[in-house]
Structure 1
Amino acid sequence: MDKRALAAFLRSRRELIRPQDVGLPGGSRRRTPGLRREEVAQLAHISTDHYSRLEQARGRQPSRQVLHGIARALRLSDQERAHLFALAGEREHDRGRRPAREVAPATTALLDRLADLPALVVDDTCQVIAWNPMAAALLGDFSTLPHTDRNVLRRIFLPAPGGITGDAPLITDDQRLAANAVSFLRLATTRYPDDAELRALIAELQVGSPAFARMWHAQEVQVDHHARQVLHHPQVGPVELDFQILSVPDRDQQLVIFTADPGSNADQALRLLKVIGTQRMDVSG
């Protein structure tokens, strides 16, 4: 950990962020440019004393969680984020322990731009870690679910009463999305062999779903980055959509985008979902 270099880097980045950029009042009584230390600490969800000591080159080595919070508060680019972790003597992505759950700012910005299409980000265990309002309208409001229930595999194989699908399966037809999800989970076991959460998820799915157990024991690895699938929605009925899976570099994450043929029934259903979804949900990624 290079305390002096870290302190200088934090100060320089803090001074570049305008209060209005992060939803704070600017005012004319600020003595220094950019954010105050206490504002950065608040945005990063850490104590002001902890952050101030880092800027004064007196702090202890920050945890990865703290670094992620600071990077988010200072709106660092991918390169700046990597530099922050390096100065703190940490690796941004510890591939040997567990999947990364922090979404890159560029990926979050892309989700925001896909205003007309459902899109979400999953890690290699198929855990949903970011989504846009259209994905919430199509698949349900993930923000209302516990983190353990924000998992595509659970939504497919263990549909819960009261959810968007009730007792009916979310996925129909040839189960391509399901096969993809199981394949990603299998690949994750080779990347994170010691992850207890991953092992518990596999055990839960095998006990709770004979369909998953059959697919898991078949040992097949089938990753289609583009396929067509039918999803059933309680308000608009069956929706036939293409899904495209784009890998996020260096993060073991996938961006899943659902599209429909222009002018098709599915296209009209998405247009309707955009209206009724935003009226009945308040969604954040």
Structure 2
Amino acid sequence: MEQPLGTAQARTAGADPEWRPAPGTQTTDRIQFGDFLRRRREALRPEDMGVDPGTRRRTPGLRRDEVAALAHMSTAYYESLEQARGPQPSASMLAGLATALRLTPDERSHLYLLAGQAPPASAEPPDYIDPGLSYTLDAIAATTPAFISDDLSNVVAQNPLNVALFGSFVDRPGHERNLTWHWFTSAHWRSVLRSASPQEEEATGLSYVADLRVNLAQRGHDPAAATLVCDLRDASAEFAGMWEQHRVSTLHCSTKIVVDPRVGRLDLDCLILASPLSRQRLLILQPVPGTESADRLGRLQLLIGDRSPAVPGARLTR
């Protein structure tokens, strides 16, 4: 059932006289919400929307009934929203309004926030790589292993040092590109990502699960995220048990030790950079100051060259 839409301000002419803000809560400004709808409606040209402008149109942009039809809602319901006296719209209603009004991503987010809801994450093409993260990945390629993943931990790009240490992920099918999937289903990957203790190994798993929960909600439980969770619960009793704990946090990592058969031990600090423009993030393994890791990574870079294939056998511990 739709709930009354509120405002943190005093009641304004045109607002529902029965409306009262909930004490001690942050409430929606229904006046601003209605004004935003009206401004965006008036900014649209009927001919751009496939609507016959006619010769006797008395209002700029689209009429309220035309927006309502495009948004798949009644004219009376849309009018009540624009006039700041309507119920709080559901997520599906907001999605319809965003489509009908042809909102930009920033405008779409603003619409959801005015309605008191978190904006759903925008979809990204399957082959998309964040340009800022990609630039950084290339800039550090000669000295630092790194990769880019999406918010579900699917690897979308790697630099040569990362491939040399851990193998190529970007060309693998389905869940084989996913690091959370490997952690909970692959004994080999657990041996590569060896932890210093059972407690640290458990903490790594919990971090993956808590991060996945956050991103499942931010994606609005879309098919890709929901399928990954369902398949993980079926494939791993450990994942299923951790999932039931309902922990939430962004992904974090700690200092790692990689034992490579060609250059020896590498002590690496783990750093995660999240992009403000996409759902992707860059995971960097930078040499720990005061160790020989930087020199050893330099030797590894000389050994592999920029186009050498991955060499299996590196062992990562915490």
TM-score by length of 1: 0.56
| Secondary structure, counterpart of 2:229 in structure 1 | helix
C-alpha contact (below 8 Å) 1:183/1:221 kept by paired residues: yes
CA–CA distance in 2 between the matches of 1:172 and 1:258?
16
Match of 1:152 in 2: 179
Q: Which amino acid aligns with 2:160?
A: P
* Per-residue Cα deviation, 1:111-148 (whole angstroms, up to 9, x for no partner): 11012111111111111112211221222112442253
- 1:114 maps to 2:140: yes
CA–CA distance in 2 between the matches of 1:272 and 1:280?
14
Among residues 150, 172, 182, which one is paired with 2:195 in the alignment?
Answer: 172
Superposed displacement of residue 99, structure 1: 4.8
Match of 1:105 in 2: 131
CA–CA distance in 1 between the matches of 2:204 and 2:242?
13
CA–CA distance in 2 between the matches of 1:141 and 1:210?
27
Match of 1:218 in 2: 245
CA–CA distance in 1 between the matches of 2:237 and 2:261?
25
CA–CA distance in 1 between the matches of 2:212 and 2:175?
15
Unaligned runs of 5+ residues in structure 1 are 3-88
Match of 1:83 in 2: none
Superposed displacement of residue 261, structure 1: 1.4
Change in Cα spacing, 1:191 to 1:117, as seen in structure 2 (3 Å) is: same
CA–CA distance in 1 between the matches of 2:259 and 2:229?
25
| Secondary structure, counterpart of 1:227 in structure 2 | coil
Counterparts of 1:74-223 in structure 2 under 5 Å?
Answer: 91=104, 96=120, 99-100=123-124, 101=126, 102-115=128-141, 116-159=143-186, 165=189, 168-173=191-196, 174-175=200-201, 176-223=203-250
Match of 1:249 in 2: 276
C-alpha contact (below 8 Å) 2:164/2:304 kept by paired residues: yes
Superposed displacement of residue 190, structure 1: 0.7
CA–CA distance in 2 between the matches of 1:171 and 1:98?
35
Match of 1:33 in 2: none
Q: Which amino acid aligns with 1:107?
A: L
Report % sequence identity. Answer: 26
| Secondary structure, counterpart of 1:281 in structure 2 | coil
Unaligned runs of 5+ residues in structure 2 are 1-43, 46-101, 109-118, 311-318
Among residues 300, 306, 309, which one is paired with 1:281 in the alignment?
Answer: 309
CA–CA distance in 2 between the matches of 1:105 and 1:128?
15
Change in Cα spacing, 1:194 to 1:222, as seen in structure 2 (3 Å) is: closer
CA–CA distance in 2 between the matches of 1:178 and 1:234?
27
C-alpha contact (below 8 Å) 1:228/1:241 kept by paired residues: yes
List structure 1 segments (4+ residues) > 6 angstroms apart after TM superposition: 92-95
Q: Which amino acid aligns with 1:172?
A: S
Match of 1:13 in 2: none
C-alpha contact (below 8 Å) 2:161/2:301 kept by paired residues: yes
| Secondary structure, counterpart of 2:134 in structure 1 | helix
| Secondary structure, counterpart of 2:195 in structure 1 | coil
Change in Cα spacing, 1:256 to 1:148, as seen in structure 2 (3 Å) is: same
CA–CA distance in 1 between the matches of 2:172 and 2:195?
23
* Per-residue Cα deviation, 1:128-186 (whole angstroms, up to 9, x for no partner): 1122112212221124422531111122222276xxx4x73534231354433322211
Aligned residues: 195
Change in Cα spacing, 1:232 to 1:208, as seen in structure 2 (3 Å) is: farther
CA–CA distance in 2 between the matches of 1:192 and 1:144?
24
CA–CA distance in 2 between the matches of 1:155 and 1:214?
17
C-alpha contact (below 8 Å) 1:159/1:169 kept by paired residues: no
CA RMSD, aligned part only? 3.6
Q: Which amino acid aligns with 1:108?
A: S
